[in-house]
Homo-oligomer: A and B are copies of this chain.
Amino acid sequence: MTTQQQSLATFSPEFRIAVELIGKRWTGVILRSMLGGATHFSDFTSAIPGLSDRLVSLRLKELETEGVIERIVIPDKPVKIEYVLTEKGRTLLPVFDAIQSWADRWV
């Protein structure tokens, strides 16, 4: 058994939280679109087929609570709201690249 295998053989609660965070229904898709530049509420609903306003709103709030994204209010007329990835969110890029490569091959 390799060292890598040994570490994988031990349960990691951190891993569980991470994989179930990004894998929650629509969450991964929303984060992926943000890595692709989506910042406005309408970017999510227009780019992602089948995703309701209610779910976008719920998932964005959850991601804000997790510290993965930040909600920015721009004091304009009318006020503008933008959603941006925090560093915690931006560092998901290698994870998403790896998932995309796997998906392109196997799904």
Contact = CB atoms under 8 A, between A and B. Distances in A.
Number of copies: 2
> Which of the four size classes fits the interface of chain A?
35 or more
Contacts of A36: 5-10
Given A103-B15, A103-B17, A106-B91, A9 B38 contact: yes
A5 B35 contact: yes
Interface of chain A, main secondary structure:
helix
Contacts of A94: 98, 101-102
Contacts of A5: 35-37
B37 A28 contact: no
A14 B19 CA distance: 17
Contact of A28 (B1, B20, B49): B20
